[in-house]
Amino acid sequence: MESPVHQYRGFLPGWLLLDKLDAPPQVSTSTSTVYLLSISLLTAVSILVIRLFVRRDYMQRGQLTVGSAFLQAFIFFIYGGYPIIYLPGDWPETQVNLTIQVAGFASLTIGLSILLLGIFRLGILQSLGLNPGRLKKTDFYRLTRNPQVLGCFMYVIGFMMLWPSGYALSWGLSLMAIIHVMVLTEEEHLRNTYGQDYEQYCKSVPRYLGFPKKPERDKF
């Protein structure tokens, strides 16, 4: 059976490698198939949980129950540990060149900082969907409606840059897709909860990235 290092390096583009003379071996088709099937199943189950249980609580209760909050948090816990399956045996050492290392560490560090600051400023309970609270429109939320998500995206991209492989790409894209589904579900809840105030907020502040717009004034 191939070692995790060989499986990992088999998906590395040659121009990323530190030692280009060390050609990575091919990854077995069975290994790739099992991994892709498992990440596809995880994606499908995650979408089901968010759109069925999480959305139901938001629509019926205006917030998540402890059970649905736990299910959603557990999904991201699984995603967080998923790279253990494919990371090389010498992790956290990286095999990419210096330019990619710098860019990857910058994206990872900045993303993690934004994620943690976003949670701190919004509050843990509101971040978990357990306490609706007031509509947050200050600090980071003046620039993006989802600073925590933006930070998470940057972290994931940085992680994929530092330890790139086909496995990492499928993991990262799946995770970002699930987070986007979560955001769309939360937006439906926020529209029901805050009404016109949230609609106006959406018009002036981008979902993820973009240039904030000045709020439109009432015309007489």
Residues shown for the chain? 220
Closest residue by Cα to residue 145 from 76, 212, 51: 212
* Distance (Å) of CA 51 to CA 129, 137, 182: 14, 26, 8
At the topology level, CATH places domain 4-204 in Four Helix Bundle (Hemerythrin (Met), subunit A) (1.20.120)
**Measured CA distances, 54 to 57, 72, 153, 164, 181 (Å):** 5, 7, 21, 32, 11
Asked if 208 and 149 touch (Cβ cutoff 8 Å), the reply is: yes
Coil, strand, or helix at residue 161?
helix
CA 205 to chain centre: 20
Whole-number Å distance between alpha carbons of 64 and 76: 16
Q: How many helices (H) and strands (E) does the chain have?
A: 9, 0
Q: Where are the domains of the chain?
A: 4-204
Per-residue pLDDT of the chain (220 residues; tens, 9 = 90+): 444 444 444 444 444 444 443 444 445 567 778 888 999 999 999 999 999 999 999 999 988 999 999 999 999 999 998 888 878 777 778 788 899 999 999 999 999 999 998 888 877 777 777 777 788 888 888 899 999 999 999 999 999 999 988 889 999 999 999 999 999 999 999 999 999 999 999 999 999 987 666 655 444 3
pTM of the model: 0.80
pLDDT value for 202 = 93
Task: DSSP letter for 140, please.
Answer: G
In this prediction, residue 220 carries a pLDDT of: 35
